[in-house]
Copies of this chain bind each other. A is one copy, B any other.
């Protein structure tokens, strides 16, 4: 879908000089993280954090609101206080969960070239998710709608660098008992990427599973052999696992679909003010959730995770892309490597508009995730206001950065052809130029990344063209993508079947979310 340019350029290059053109090899769809991992704490400190998380689960406990979940923990030998809903989880239970959780997870999307593997070392991106509002330069900021949901899902499909489709915004104009039909149908019919299901109670989750299985035409064995969709499990920090989240951990485990566990621990608010304290709490909560998931079905695909940044101590507002956010990602990465599981982290921005702050925050947070070795980087494009809004323009401008990261994943070479002593260095006289060197002619059409929104025009030309900044140009980009209305290949009969399912379930009253 994206980047047909290299093919065109190749033909042109060949025609011009009769040489074999040399093309860069990039594959945005299956990325490996090329960046060295960075430690913020020593190995001893990490071990102490892990040990303190174990003590936290054993001595302080976790409040588990779902009776079935408490029952599962109790049967595994955890001490449960039914008066207070507190569950005290021994480290033997955690160790068993970490032993049974898979280290490598093959995720199946709607098309085989969209499949990917989650394991330490692999790298996937999602745009910003879960925002109540949407915004763009033409229509302004508004409550997220069905139209926004579909449009943002199409934009996510367009950019190969997003391997997973989240629910970017909440379509608030769709009734809550029917919303999950709408979101699942939109993700399945507008994309062929790995889709998402909200954990808002078993009835909604089972509806979602039925839609995914039916649309993909999977046997029960096929469905269970690999995850075909995912959910995000947020603990209620500190130390609370609410009903829909606990239920989601159980339902996804039993269906062998992917649960991504993410305590959202804001340093100084719902978590300790220090990176070490906040990540120790996050680690404890994540391990309790992974334990429940693995107790429900040992070996089920589950992803460790954190989303930890600091608040602004003056206002209590979340701050993103800060040094503390960066270090929290590093610490979580160390703990993920300590337990050996694939894991998710998050970028994002607290800015109120797609400005320099928004760009700098998102990219700083992103580098924290990259150098922490995160497997899944969520909210990597489009988030404003700490996640209250997804911006169409920011989705585009952040995708530019992610594309460049994907280019860096491809690495580079310095063999004799690339060094080019005879095809470049020797050919050009002192103070000459390399525009016509043999090496240049063989490579000029594909050697460099071609930006989608960055502009290299000089000041005069740029001014003549209206002095339009990157956000303004990003409006053109998303409009062009939506105007092209590209759709992935799909079976019309399956689309029809999906509609019938939704119609039937709608006539039956749908399924309200549980809380």
Contacts and interface: CB of A to CB of B under 8 A. Distances in A.
Contacts of A418: 274-277
A239 B388 contact: no
A52 to B, nearest CB: 5
A310 B430 contact: no
Nearest to A404: B323
Contact of A385 (B316, B440, B458): B458
Interface in A397-434: 397, 400-401, 404, 407-408, 411-416, 418-421, 424-426, 428-434
Interface stretch (A112-120, A219-227, A263-271, A497-505): A263-271
Contact of A414 (B46, B317, B429): B46
Interface in A335-384: 350-361, 363-364, 367, 371
B240 A431 contact: yes
A371 B408 CA distance: 13
Contact of A276 (B414, B432, B469): B414
Contact of A470 (B310, B357, B400): B357
Interface stretch (A101-109, A159-167, A202-210, A444-452): A444-452
A273 interface: yes
A255 interface: no
Contact of A269 (B56, B239, B413, B433): B433
Contacts of A354: 356
Contact of A454 (B310, B351, B421): B351
A420 B435 CA distance: 61
Contacts of A240: 430-431
B45 A324 contact: no
Interface stretch (A32-40, A67-75, A294-302): A32-40
A490 to B, nearest CB: 33
B459 A350 contact: no
Interface in A450-480: 451, 453-459, 462-463, 467, 469-471, 474
- Most chain B CB within a 10 A radius of its CB, from A354, A371, A413, A425: A425
A236 interface: yes
A30 interface: no
Interface centre among A319, A408, A456, A458 (most CB of B within 10 A): A456
A327 interface: yes
Given A60-B426, A353-B469, A270 B434 contact: yes
B40 A411 contact: yes
A48 interface: yes
A356 B397 contact: yes
Contacts of A180: none
A62 interface: yes
A241 B110 CA distance: 58
A421 B314 CA distance: 25
Given A357-B454, A439-B277, A456-B315, A431 B63 contact: yes
A341 to B, nearest CB: 20
Assembly stoichiometry (copies): 2
Contacts of A432: 238
A447 B351 contact: no
Nearest to A135: B459
A313 B447 contact: yes
Given A275-B412, A277-B439, A430-B240, A459 B319 contact: no
Contact of A433 (B37, B270, B404, B429): B270
A238 B270 contact: no
Contacts of A445: 313
A204 B363 CA distance: 42
A394 B469 CA distance: 14
A400 B360 contact: yes
Contact of A469 (B357, B397, B454): B357
Nearest to A403: B323
A355 B471 contact: yes
Interface in A227-245: 236, 238-240
Contact of A435 (B38, B268, B412, B467): B268
A79 interface: no
A141 interface: yes
Contacts of A326: 404, 408
B424 A357 contact: no
A46 B323 CA distance: 33
A55 interface: yes
B437 A272 contact: yes
Given A274-B443, A327-B412, 6 more contacts: A45-B413, A271-B434, A277-B439, A310-B447, A316-B435, A324-B448
Q: Which 3 A-B pairs have the closest CB atoms?
A: A276-B414, A45-B414, A276-B418
7 contacts: A268-B448, A269-B435, A272-B425, A313-B444, A313-B445, A316-B435, A350-B456
